[in-house]
Structure 1
Amino acid sequence: MTHRVGFVVFDGVTMLDVGGPSEVLHQANRLAPRLVPRYEPVLISPDGGTVTTSAGPSLAGTVRAADAGAIDTVVVAGGDRLAGQPIAEDLLTAVRDLTARAPRVASVCTGAFVLAELGLLDNRRATTHWRHAAAFAHRYPRVRVEADAIHMRDGCFVTSAGISAGIDLALALVEEDHGADAARSIARELVVFMQRPDGQSQFSTGTATPPARGALLSELVASVLADPAGDHSLPAMAASVAVSSRHLTRLFRAELGTTPAAWVERVRLDRAQQLLLEGCSVTSAAHHSGLGTDETLRRAFARHLGTTPSQYRKRFTTTRSR
């Protein structure tokens, strides 16, 4: 017995959108030889044959939707062309045909644009790559876009963020089919987290914050990121770079668009999230992130993430939202 997963590809498809989830399914078959059903990947394209990825290498042996047979899960891969230009009618036709008869439908990155173009995501929650989220929301106002989610399920439709988030999505599908233990063993083999929770930000403060323009603030930012639990009060930070507290506040406003205290709190919250996902207790995460007490950590989680540290920590054992 097999579970056939149809990956919809096209010229210009992002290779990792296909390769990442495919490897998860391969490892599921390899690590659990008694797994039933076993996964059978099928590459599907509008015209069949060979397609060229955005990175250059080709994917050979694709079949047309009409020739694909029964598909249990459809995964529409992404590519920049889907967000930047009208979606080709032959691709829409192929996906329309496949999704009409598949019990589960997923997309990676801008593959969500195809599902939305077909109206399949109307009045549903969905996500895509953060860089295209605003365009996605503008182009498809009936979709409830969750711009910062790693992956999102609404009914039989599962959408994920960009590129490597396809791995998170595939792990979630494996857990849904075969349980958390199977997904955990695959995650360990691939040297990735069991999951990045589907409510977790697509990027951390360190990568989301615009880079500081001046050398003074760049040096300070690097030191805080290296040791979030250190003394990063406004007076201490100002003294470390030999400026007044007022001047440092002006620099943060001008270069990072925020205040020193707000920025430090987000850095510490990022660190606390990482510690919780690594298995630390709430108290330990609060202490080692620099947030201090359990109550301070709870307030930060409630303010920025809308959940509690304990609820967030529980998610490390599953790919599913709670």
Structure 2
Amino acid sequence: MLAAAGVLDGRRATTHWRHAPLLARAYPEVHVEADALFVEDDGVLTSAGVSAGIDLALALVEQDHGAGLARDVARSLVLFMQRPGGQSQFSAPLALRPPRAPALRAVVDLVAAQPADPHTATSLAATAGITPRHLARLFRTELGTSPARFVEDARLDHAKRLLDAGHGVAEAARGAGFGSTETMRRRFVARLGVAPSRYRARFGTTGPGDSRG
């Protein structure tokens, strides 16, 4: 409704990952952040779903009244303290239904299985047996994204999994194919609004490779 009313034109917004491609296609003036739990842009707030709406509400309580009250509210509701808005939905870019086009499905499966490989538009198109331009058109039509953005999403998703499991930032950067910790840090900050080390401190578990990068 916000998009239809023009309220989101030129603004960043999010919605449930199932509906993000539809929102992006139907309202190209909206900058859809399909992987965010909630987004605030110039006083307009959107969330990804019911549980993400609770995260958003707790964030607003903390913003207006401080972290102490927000923790009390979370405790009274038997909830964890809210996740930051940049925290990903459940592997949203890779949880979409399989593409209809077999060529695109082959590329999606390859990137999801091996995100750290040196994927390029040319190499992915060769895997699909089509031209890079045709591949880009398939990505845009079926997934509402580009091949490069999809590869980045897959690498971010894999890096988050590694950090969640307790691996260090440097190890996660290597394992996800970012090449360097600085490259991964820039991508995390740009896409998720949080540095990998902070993400790991908040969501990671103690485990092997426990070196903090």
**Short-chain TM bin:** 0.5 to 0.7
| Partner in structure 2 of residue 172 of structure 1 | 80
| Partner in structure 1 of residue 153 of structure 2 | 266
Alignment of 1:230-241 (within 5 A): 230-241=117-128
Indicate if the aligned counterparts of 1:228 and 1:289 stay in contact, CA closer than 8 A: yes
- Of 210-219 and 285-294, the range deviating more from structure 2: 210-219
| Partner in structure 2 of residue 151 of structure 1 | 55
Deviation at 1:170, TM superposition (A): 3.5
Indicate if the aligned counterparts of 2:106 and 2:127 stay in contact, CA closer than 8 A: no
Deviation at 1:211, TM superposition (A): 3.9
Question: What is the DSSP-based 3-state SS (H/G/I as helix, E as strand, rest coil) of the residue aligned with 2:122?
Answer: helix
Deviation at 1:146, TM superposition (A): 4.6
> TM-score, normalized by length of structure 1?
0.41
- Of 143-152 and 212-221, the range deviating more from structure 2: 143-152
Alignment of 1:173-322 (within 5 A): 197-199=83-85, 200-204=87-91, 205-207=93-95, 209=96, 211-316=98-203
Tell me, in whole angstroms, the C-alpha distance in 2 between the residues paired with 1:259 and 1:144. Answer: 27
Deviation at 1:151, TM superposition (A): 2.6
Tell me, in whole angstroms, the C-alpha distance in 2 between the residues paired with 1:291 and 1:303. Answer: 14
Q: Percent identity?
A: 45
273 and 197 in structure 1: CA distance in 2 versus 1, 3 angstrom threshold = farther
Q: List alignment gaps of at least 5 residues for structure 2.
A: 1-14, 24-42, 206-213
Q: List alignment gaps of at least 5 residues for structure 1.
A: 1-127, 135-142, 159-165, 174-195
Deviation at 1:171, TM superposition (A): 5.3
238 and 129 in structure 1: CA distance in 2 versus 1, 3 angstrom threshold = closer
Question: What is the DSSP-based 3-state SS (H/G/I as helix, E as strand, rest coil) of the residue aligned with 2:80?
Answer: helix
Question: What is the DSSP-based 3-state SS (H/G/I as helix, E as strand, rest coil) of the residue aligned with 1:151?
Answer: helix
Indicate if the aligned counterparts of 1:197 and 1:316 stay in contact, CA closer than 8 A: no
Tell me, in whole angstroms, the C-alpha distance in 2 between the residues paired with 1:170 and 1:303. Answer: 32
| One-letter amino acid matched to 1:206 | L
Deviation at 1:272, TM superposition (A): 0.8
| One-letter amino acid matched to 2:111 | V
| One-letter amino acid matched to 2:80 | A
List structure 1 segments (4+ residues) > 3 angstroms apart after TM superposition: 128-132, 143-146, 155-158, 196-199
Cα RMSD (Å) of the superposition? 3.4
- Flag the structure with higher strand content: 1
| One-letter amino acid matched to 2:108 | V
| One-letter amino acid matched to 1:296 | T
Tell me, in whole angstroms, the C-alpha distance in 2 between the residues paired with 1:238 and 1:144. Answer: 39
Indicate if the aligned counterparts of 1:224 and 1:264 stay in contact, CA closer than 8 A: yes
Question: What is the DSSP-based 3-state SS (H/G/I as helix, E as strand, rest coil) of the residue aligned with 2:47?
Answer: coil
Tell me, in whole angstroms, the C-alpha distance in 2 between the residues paired with 1:279 and 1:262. Answer: 26
Deviation at 1:317, TM superposition (A): 6.0
146 and 310 in structure 1: CA distance in 2 versus 1, 3 angstrom threshold = farther
Alignment of 1:15-34 (within 5 A): none
Deviation at 1:297, TM superposition (A): 0.3
Deviation at 1:231, TM superposition (A): 2.8
| Partner in structure 2 of residue 70 of structure 1 | none
Deviation at 1:254, TM superposition (A): 1.7
Tell me, in whole angstroms, the C-alpha distance in 2 between the residues paired with 1:295 and 1:289. Answer: 13
Indicate if the aligned counterparts of 1:130 and 1:147 stay in contact, CA closer than 8 A: no
Indicate if the aligned counterparts of 2:163 and 2:204 stay in contact, CA closer than 8 A: no
Paired positions, count: 152
